């Protein structure tokens, strides 16, 4: 089925995760995405674990639904400019200034393609005193304050277990580019979209920042507790751990009955959510005394039918096997890849009635579509393509 972005052509110069993840979503939605890599070397993530048959499944996941070409930007500058004329969107996540040093920054590229949407993503963005600093996922979590509020109060700050700064940055880039494409439809004007990984993490932590902005109180690590509601967060069970939210008046009223303490409903310490948050050190042990009498599954079986938001903490293998996430929502579809064989990858979270995202083809081998792209899009002859290869341009 044709995707909703069919007819849009994207040149993906991204490396590793943030840029490639954004471009992959465009490919999933039907855009023609051309991944450009350095001849002979390719994206650094081609060497990233996990490996299967000597091939990186990390690379495979974030470069699905794309065609792949190689081009040396120094030797093949004119070819690159010809290619830019033929695309709607360019995505890159080099350190700011890299493309300018090559004479290929946005100000130069818009001269050959005024309608170009130029999407760039970096650690701190292309403006400000930190713009030239190296910035990766962990740095974005540290500089944004996210790590300062993650973990247990008595322990060191903790990085989120996944590279969520990169992925959130990629999603913000996709949103910006889609908005710019709509703007171009109305005005004919292209523009540059500038996304910072650190800014994206700040947005992800907006609810915590608002605590400081509104009250002047600096939030700190709070474990698995909710900052603004109680009871809520993680509780030990007979065989493990679960998370529960019982803060809304309706559910607080039911919870006190379930745990065998109906008198708490009129306890002056716990009469309102604000009071329960204030006195959570006294409240949480009462709730946990009940959860410790039951297994995790028993807690879920008791609370879920009554409408509570509650969950076990699943390990990744359990998520893949889960009837909702891996099953009904198809978040781990199998792709028959010519290099690694049938392999499951992480799907897009967006579900649409028509033309929605799907993995449309496996990630390309290095330079797999050189002849197709240079011949069909730029009109190069087989002889010229062979000469470019001989000269190390591709």
Average the pLDDT over 327-343 and give the result: 93
Q: Are residues 263 and 343 both part of a single domain? A: no
Peptide bond before residue 296 is cis, with ω within 30 degrees of 0: no
Tens digit of each residue's pLDDT (9 = 90 or more) over 373-387: 999 999 999 999 999
Domain boundary among 292, 313, 334: 313
- In this structure, the answer to whether residues 82 and 142 fall within a common structural domain is yes
pLDDT band for position 226 (cuts 50, 70, 90):
confident
pTM for this prediction: 0.91
Predicted local confidence at residue 222, as pLDDT: 87
CATH number for the domain that contains residue 75: 3.40.50.10540
Residue 340 maps to a domain: yes
| Residue 219 domain flag | no
Which candidate in 12, 28, 88, 166 is catalytic? Answer: 166
Considering the chain, what percentage of its residues have pLDDT values greater than 70?
100
Tell me if 369 is assigned to some domain.
Answer: yes
The residue segments making up the domain with residue 247 are 232-313
CA nearest to 184, candidates 101, 280, 88: 88
**Whether residue 286 has pLDDT greater than 80:** yes
Report the pLDDT averaged over residues 223-242.
90
Domain shared by 272 and 328, yes or no: no
Q: Are residues 58 and 132 in the same domain?
A: yes
Q: How many domains does the chain have?
A: 2
- Give a yes or no: residue 41 inside a domain: yes
Domain match, 84 and 181 both = yes
Q: How far apart are CA 264 and CA 284, in angstroms?
A: 12
Residues 156 and 39 both lie in one domain: yes
Question: What per-residue confidence (pLDDT) applies to 2?
Answer: 83
pLDDT score, position 102: 93
Average pLDDT over residues 124-139: 91
Decide if 173 is inside a domain. yes
Strand order in the sheet with 232-236: 232-236, 241-245, 309-312
Residues 306, 372, single domain; the answer is no
Residues 94 and 191 in one domain: yes
Q: How far is CA 233 from CA 156, 187, 310, 317, in A?
A: 20, 48, 9, 23
Q: What is the mean pLDDT of residues 57-77?
A: 95
Same domain, 308 and 330: no
Report the pLDDT value the prediction gives residue 338, as an integer from 0 to 100: 92
Q: Length of the chain, please?
A: 394
Is residue 209 assigned to a domain? Answer: no
Tell whether the model's pLDDT for residue 136 goes beyond 90: no
Do 243 and 335 belong to one domain? no
* Residue 226 is assigned to a structural domain of this protein: no
Over residues 108-114, mean pLDDT: 97
Q: What's the pLDDT tens digit per position in 293-315?
A: 999 999 999 999 999 999 999 99
pLDDT reported for residue 178: 98
The CATH number of whichever domain residue 262 belongs to comes to 3.30.1540.10
Does 224 have pLDDT greater than 90? no
**Catalytic site residue 44?**
no
Is 215 among the domain residues? Answer: no
Kind of pairing between the strands at 241-245 and 232-236? antiparallel
Of the pLDDT bands very low, low, confident and very high (cuts 50, 70, 90), residue 1 is confident
250/363 same-domain check? no
Residue 156 has pLDDT above 90, yes or no: yes
Boundary of a domain, candidates 287, 313, 339: 313
Among 313, 337, 370, the domain-final residue is 313
Residue of 8, 6, 90, 25 whose CA lies nearest to 63: 25
Same domain, yes or no: 60 and 127: yes
């Amino acid at each position: 089925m044709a995707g909703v972005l069919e007819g849009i052509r994207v040149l993906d110069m991204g490396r590793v995760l943030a840029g490639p993840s954004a471009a992959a979503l465009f490919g999933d939605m039907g855009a023609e995405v051309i991944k450009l890599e350095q001849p002979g070397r390719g994206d650094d993530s081609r060497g990233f674990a996990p490996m299967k048959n000597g091939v990186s499944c990390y690379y495979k996941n974030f470069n699905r639904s794309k065609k792949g070409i190689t081009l040396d930007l120094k030797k093949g500058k004119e070819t690159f400019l010809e290619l830019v004329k033929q695309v709607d969107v360019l995505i890159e996540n080099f350190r700011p200034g890299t493309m300018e040093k090559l004479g290929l920054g946005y100000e130069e590229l818009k001269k050959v393609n005024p309608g170009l949407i130029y999407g760039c993503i970096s650690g701190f963005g292309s403006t400000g005193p930190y713009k030239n600093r190296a910035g990766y996922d962990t740095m974005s979590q540290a500089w944004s304050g996210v790590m300062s509020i993650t973990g247990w109060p008595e322990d060191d700050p903790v990085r989120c277990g996944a590279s969520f700064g990169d992925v959130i940055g990629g999603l913000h880039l996709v949103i910006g580019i889609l908005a710019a494409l709509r703007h171009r439809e109305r005005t004919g004007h292209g523009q540059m979209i500038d996304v910072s990984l650190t800014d994206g993490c700040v947005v992800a932590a907006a609810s915590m920042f608002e605590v400081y902005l509104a009250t002047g109180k600096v939030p700190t690590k709070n474990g698995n507790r909710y900052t603004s509601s109680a009871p809520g967060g993680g509780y030990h069970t007979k065989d493990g751990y679960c998370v529960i939210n019982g803060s809304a008046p309706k559910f607080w009223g039911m919870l006190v009955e379930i745990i065998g303490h109906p008198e708490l409903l009129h306890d002056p310490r716990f009469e309102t959510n604000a009071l329960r948050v204030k006195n959570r050190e006294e409240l949480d042990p009462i709730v946990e005394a009940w959860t410790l009498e039951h297994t995790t599954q028993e807690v879920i079986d008791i609370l879920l039918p009554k409408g509570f938001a509650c969950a076990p903490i699943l390990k990744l293998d359990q998520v893949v096997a889960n009837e909702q996430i891996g099953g009904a929502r198809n978040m781990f579809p199998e792709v028959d890849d010519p290099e690694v064989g049938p392999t499951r990858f992480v799907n897009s979270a967006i579900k649409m009635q028509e033309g929605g995202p799907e993995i449309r083809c496996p990630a390309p081998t290095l330079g797999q579509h050189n002849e197709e792209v240079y011949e069909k899009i730029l009109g190069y002859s087989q002889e010229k393509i062979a000469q470019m290869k001989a000269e190390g341009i591709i």
